[in-house]
Each structure stands twice: as structure tokens, then as C-alpha cells.
Amino acid sequence: MSEGPRRTTGSGIKPLATLRITSGALSGLVLPVYDLPSIIGRGEDNEIVLPGEQVSHTHARLDARDGAWYLADLGSTHGTFLHGRRLNGETRLPAESAIRMGVVDLVFEPIENAGWRGHIARRSAGKMVLIDDIEETSGGSKFKEWFRRYWLAEIVGTLSAFGGSWLLDRLTGNPIAAAYGGSIGESIGFYGVITLKQMVADAHAAGTKHTPYDAAGAFKTTRAIFMEFGPAELIDGGLLRPLLMGLGTKLLGRELGVLAGKLLSDVAFYLPVILAYEMGKKKRLREEEDEEEF
């Protein structure tokens, strides 16, 4: 059997490998691997500190033996993925492997292949504060996250809005009824997609903890969605959206008017929704940290 990489610790010693971040505000940042095994996670007591949303306190373990590298998930809430496939145990890790932890994408490079591109991350407290500050103030990264969360629901909701408006117009011939039909149709399509996606994500998260996703879990998912969308939906779906769709239909015709009313309503709708989403996400992160510390 061939000898694995030697276990080394400390600055000034050549790293054994690197993890290069390829997404978000920290894209290009290189995390050197000095120790084996190395625990990867958000906690500053880990060998490799990986700041980021949906990264658990102790998320994954990187190790090498018999000339090969291995990666294992440590029961993280949001999972560890290798080339898009979720890990359910220790898996061999080839060079240039694409890894995802939470919403952070990385590329694994044994030191022979490491080009040392980008800035090197250090584990000092001052540097970690700098990293956190970059992450919190990255508008581009936040926008991509919001886009990933809402884009499919928006497409389905838009198609449902046209369908609901057309159906009520055919049944009643009343533009006000058609406007409410568009609003109701959009809500059904939009929230159907949002709820399904979130239930699948929460069921996967429960699976990584080896806990069942039952009726109580589904209720918790539904409650979180209501907290995110409820206040905005009361004003939007009950008044603003049908009003703007009805006005748009009267001025521009049904197809263009429904679309124009929807776009104007979305501007007012998403401001409180995104604020509630970000607040809820921070609350979940605190709860995950409390569970992991317990």
C-alpha cells in the first residue's frame, strides 16, 4: 500500500491540498489543507473554516489514506454534494472534484495541481471578520440566491395568472372577475412551486439527521412559508394585485394588461418578502448552531 500524505500543521509548511471557492462573494478564495483529517465547517474551531450560509458548524471531513483522498458528510443540515450527488457516507475524492456544501461551491485540488489562484484564507480572527463582512455586503451573491429561490415559481405563477384571467373572462365576461382570476391563478401556481421545493429541501435536511419528515415537519415548512409571504400576500393578493391587473387589462388589453399589472405588483410584493426571508434565514442559522452545540 502506498503511503498517504504526511500530517502537518502550522504556517510556513506546504499545504497538502486546497479547496478553492468558486461561487458567491468569496469566489477565488483558496482554503489550504494542512491537517489530516480536517474537519470543514462554519465553526472557528475546525481545521478548515468555511463561512457561508447553510454551512453547518461541523459540516464535512476531509482525509487521505493509502494514496487516496476521501470526503465525508458529518450529518450537516443542508448536505455535502460531489459533482451534484449528495454524499451518504465517505466517498473517494479525485483531483479537481466539484464540491458543494450548503450553497458554497468549491473545487478540490491536491497540492500538485494547486495553482494558488486568488487570496489565501487564514484562520486568524481578524481575517475571518473580513470574510464575514465581504459575505454580508455582497449584493450580487444575494441577488443570485433570491433568483434561485423564486424564478421557477414566478414562471409557473405567470402562466397560472394568464390561465386564471382567461378562464374567469370566458365564464363571466367581467374584467374585475378576470383580474381576480389572474391574481388567484398566480397565487396557486406560485405558492404550489414554493411549497413543493421547500418541502423537498426540508425532507432532505431531515434525512441527513436521520429524522422522519412527517406531518409535523410539513406543518413547520408551511408555517415558515406563511411567515415569509403572509403579510405581503394579505395586501398584495387581496387588493393591490387584482387592482393593478384590472387597471392594466382595461388600459392595455387582457394579455399585456395582466403582465403589466403583475410586474408592478411584484415590485411591492418582493420588498417585504425578501426582508422576511432574510430574517427567517438568520433565525434558522441560529437554531442550527444551538442544535449542533447541544
pLDDT tens column, 170-180: 999 888 888 78
Q: 2-11, 96-105, 133-142, 205-214: which has the minimum mean pLDDT?
A: 2-11
Averaged pLDDT, 33-53:
88
- Bridge-based pairing of strands 68-73 and 80-82 is unpaired
For residues 188 and 158, the answer to whether their CB atoms sit within 8 Å is: no
Round to whole Å and give the CA distance between 138 and 278: 14
Round to whole Å and give the CA distance between 197 and 107: 27
Mean pLDDT of the chain: 79
pLDDT of 287 reads 64
Amino acid present at 267? V
- Residue 207 confidence class, pLDDT cut points 50, 70, 90: low
pLDDT at 215 over 80: yes
The dihedral over CA atoms of 53, 55, 56, 62, expressed in degrees to the nearest 10, equals -170
pLDDT at 62 over 60: yes
Residue found by looking up cell 479537481 in the block: 96
What are the start-end ranges of the H helices in the chain?
A: 125-136, 139-172, 175-208, 215-235, 241-252, 254-293
pLDDT at 140 over 80: no
Q: What percent of the chain has pLDDT over 70?
A: 79
Averaged pLDDT, 231-255:
82
Between 144 and 199, the more confident residue is 199
Q: Which class for 265: exposed (0-12), middle (13-18), buried (19 or more C-beta within 10 A)?
A: buried
pLDDT at 165 over 70: yes
- Residue 209 confidence class, pLDDT cut points 50, 70, 90: low
pLDDT of 19 reads 93
